[in-house]
Structure 1
């Protein structure tokens, strides 16, 4: 979960938007797609290794494009693709702009509750995309993301954005209604130039815990109190976003529904219940099958899975469970590792290195001052650390593939 300051203060009532759902975009959004098109991960039986997809002319062409762009990137440009850096919804601050330009940042997080509406946000995202780099004649555009879940966690509001009810309410809707509404919300994001939603939350908060669960239950961010409901409703949300050409992010693997503390504000948040075969993981499996290209990893510690490491730094969680058991082939992103209390004891550079060593791909920070130390720590090790080079190349390849699939990378 990202800090509530980034999500608009969290506990305030949302304003009413002045337009109807489904505000039209200008033209067809690049990268728009229906669920089940290329990029959707199909899973084998749980516990089996993922089956390789048969190569097609389309996948061969995509691989060729990604490989050509990677071959022409400098080391600094490759490392820059690993970072999602913050930009204020009120306008790009000098420190935010400096971090993006100095470190070739490849993705942006729009931060801070806004009532400005679609047009001012579009001005910011267009400004950001104008800084996107060309590599070997190919334009590598930015993932522009925000937290648009609904209820108390809806960053973008105002003219052109519909008020979104909480996930608790969305969880009670018929699937067809939720998917249709999510498509409308996705079109509103596209109109604002946002192409990645850090949603939906697929954590299951058991009824016995409820609002005692600070990161999810206390904010009504859960779709239900059982994995069947959460899987069904969150998958409908994902499919709706996909119809609008917006990528979804399932979070917070392997689940924050059974903790008490909030990793944004508390260190040493521990889950002593979740196991590698927990039924609650079904919601993540369903989200992957529904086409989510991003999975956000929790910063809590799961003692029955890996007692020695927080999930964000755990190869058991990332490589063995998420990649191996669930067969996820997309981009694995951190929760905030710039300001969150859960990681504050670890120096910024070490946070990035540990996450990459565990098998993660994209590093999200809400503090622009941490981008430099993190990026420099990775760059300084590349020349002497072969394992890190392999992890960086794997991560860049996954990120560029996601950009290609989403219409953000074009090769002649």
Structure 2
């Protein structure tokens, strides 16, 4: 009986290790990289040897078990080879292809050397800095790393990198405690209108200075999703929009967000309002699941979308588009790769000609489906920057999707040209359409009051 239990346990363990090794380069196992892969290699070598020494090969069942324990080593070797090959293919990209595609990708990184290599060849437009880049480090050390990346660009005769981060304040401040963390913008929601706009401006200006001093030029904030009506959502593991939203009142959200964005801009830092089409009515967490927004478009225009329009109409902010299907506009595609949403609504109906950035493509709502299709549709649909943040090594897979589509004639070159023009106008250092000074934030809602919402 004990022998059967031991055999069943070994089979279960073998199947688990087969699954892990076949998926060892997937983003949800990113924490296994490095030492974890070394441990898998040791186990993959040791387990078959121990089974041989234990005489398991003498029976048919034992030989099958031995064979099963040989698979993890083969799978690990294959996945590492595939990753190395993709990386090799990325770095052998022709210069003219790099010039065409590179300006549209922003990536997370763990190795500054790897990021510098991508930057030097013009394969990326920017980098995403997060917790693991700053853990145990000082702002001066981060600044030195970023300066090194920018120097690589300069030597290659390329424009400066866009350097981004998620530094919203409150519960999402990925560069803190290295940089000071400001209170959540929601703390301003109950102030009188003029004061909350001014306070938001000062908070944005202060945070912008600390970001700029560290070399950050693009803050993926503020959150302008309306606060959801529910207090707890069992299906929301990482978005946690209830903690991050400013208010459930679109006027309050718009006033605070616009003041904050103008404060960032006054310090030379670009902002991105997120997460269009708004997550306040969305129950599913797009980090893991597909999600739909089922509300009518006219209702969204009068509520959830008002803060987006208020900020975009009155600043140089970019807009981050999430992986939520907007049923009222396009039932087949998530907003981040829906031409009807990107080109039809945001650029067409709203007349917005600034920068659109996708939410992280390494999220279950996209990565777990047809990633290549989403990459091509995003670029063709009007997105300017595709973000590969949580697991930056997936950039090689994403970039391969774009390269293959280009080679097959499936990329809209005119759409890429228009995007290049938008990016050149918008990059930090260029003047945005709105002057970023304190006097500009006294009546942040006035533009929408005069224009109305279409």
Coarse TM-score class (shorter-chain normalised)? 0.7 to 0.9
Provide closer, same or farther for how the CA distance between residues 404 and 148 of structure 1 changes in structure 2, counting only shifts above 3 A.
closer
Q: How does 1:123-134 map to 2 (within 5 A)?
A: 123-133=144-154
After TM superposition, the structure 1 stretch with the greater mean CA deviation from structure 2, 221-230 or 107-116, is 107-116
What do residues 92-132 of structure 1 show as CA deviations (whole Å, max 9, x unaligned)? Answer: 35554555456621111102264534212211211111121
Give unmatched runs, 5+ long, in structure 1.
7-72, 408-412
Aligned to 2:267: 244
**Alpha-carbon distance, 1:362 to partner:** 0.8
**Alpha-carbon distance, 1:384 to partner:** 5.0
Provide closer, same or farther for how the CA distance between residues 97 and 389 of structure 1 changes in structure 2, counting only shifts above 3 A.
same
**Alpha-carbon distance, 1:251 to partner:** 0.8
What do residues 240-279 of structure 1 show as CA deviations (whole Å, max 9, x unaligned)? Answer: 1011010010111111111112111x22222222525512
Question: Aligned equivalents of 1:178 and 1:303: distance in 2?
Answer: 33
What do residues 224-252 of structure 1 show as CA deviations (whole Å, max 9, x unaligned)? Answer: 01111111110111011011010010111
The count of aligned residue pairs is 330
After TM superposition, the structure 1 stretch with the greater mean CA deviation from structure 2, 144-153 or 344-353, is 344-353
Q: How does 1:247-326 map to 2 (within 5 A)?
A: 247-264=270-287, 266-273=288-295, 275=297, 278=300, 279=302, 280-326=304-350
The alignment status of 1:203 with 2:222, answered yes or no, reads no
Aligned to 1:190: 212
What do residues 124-160 of structure 1 show as CA deviations (whole Å, max 9, x unaligned)? Answer: 211111121567xx6401100000101111011235x
Q: Is the 8 A contact 1:179 1:237 kept in 2?
A: yes
Question: Aligned equivalents of 1:376 and 1:218: distance in 2?
Answer: 33
Aligned to 2:68: none
Question: Aligned equivalents of 1:372 and 1:5: distance in 2?
Answer: 17
Aligned to 2:381: 358
Where is the helix percentage greater, Structure 1 or Structure 2?
2
What SS does the corresponding residue of 1:130 show, helix, strand or coil? helix
Give unmatched runs, 5+ long, in structure 2.
1-26, 31-94, 432-454
Give every structure 1 segment of 4 or more consecutive aligned residues whose post-TM-superposition deviation is greater than 4 Å.
3-6, 93-103, 215-219
TM-score, normalization by structure 2: 0.67
Q: Is the 8 A contact 2:120 2:153 kept in 1?
A: no
Provide closer, same or farther for how the CA distance between residues 140 and 93 of structure 1 changes in structure 2, counting only shifts above 3 A.
closer
The alignment status of 1:341 with 2:341, answered yes or no, reads no
Provide closer, same or farther for how the CA distance between residues 317 and 379 of structure 1 changes in structure 2, counting only shifts above 3 A.
same
The alignment status of 1:106 with 2:125, answered yes or no, reads yes
RMSD of aligned residue pairs (Cα, Å)? 2.7
Provide closer, same or farther for how the CA distance between residues 158 and 209 of structure 1 changes in structure 2, counting only shifts above 3 A.
closer
Q: Is the 8 A contact 1:118 1:158 kept in 2?
A: no
TM-score, normalization by structure 1: 0.73
Question: Aligned equivalents of 1:158 and 1:403: distance in 2?
Answer: 28
**Alpha-carbon distance, 1:360 to partner:** 1.2
After TM superposition, the structure 1 stretch with the greater mean CA deviation from structure 2, 125-134 or 210-219, is 210-219
